[in-house]
Amino acid sequence: MASRGRRGRAPAREDELRREEWAKQQAPAPQGPVLPPPPPVGYAVFLQGLVQAMQTQAHTQAALQAQLEARMVLMNGVL
């Protein structure tokens, strides 16, 4: 068994191998120019967008539910 370095740490070679494995698992660097961050958005604008997204989601869910129920009636004759 390999002896450990000071304070129970793995030898330097093991640390290097761990760093290499960790680097392989990371996402590749983005290609192209680095874009500046988007401009700040006011809280009211953010909330308005959030409410709109939630309403859209509710509408979509209701439409899908109605579609599913209609198919169930056609297939089984009963809900």
pLDDT in tens, 14-69: 877 787 777 777 777 778 888 899 889 899 999 999 999 999 999 999 999 999 99
**Residue 45: predicted pLDDT:** 94
> Phi and psi (nearest 5°) for 61?
-65, -40
What six digits make up the tokens of 14?
């093991």
Say whether pLDDT at 76 is over 90. Answer: no
- Angstrom CA distances, 23 to 9, 28, 30, 66, 70, stand at 20, 9, 15, 48, 51
